[in-house]
Amino acid sequence: MSVDVTDATFQRDVLASSKPVLVDFWTEWCAPCKPLAVSLDELSSEMGAKITIAKVNAETSPNITNKYGVRGFPTMLIFKDGQVLASRSGAMPKNKLREWIEQSV
């Protein structure tokens, strides 16, 4: 299951994490965000030992969304040791998500 992250918890849950974290920036009105969330939840269960999957609602956490220049949804950033390793915008099939994660971490 993915972790909900906010402006207040981003430092602790993402930047200070001991393992890589994929952060999915999403909004309620984003149609492609919904099927992506299902794939990310499944990958969280399957790959949880390797990477944490986190979700940021861009509308309720605007500070962190703006800090990383996220303008389109969904946008995914992979963090490791407090730094952005990779980024992708737009939805993609679960198998492509897995490939991207495995290539990035």
CA triple 69-47-72, angle to 5 deg: 20
Point out the residues that are catalytic: 30, 33
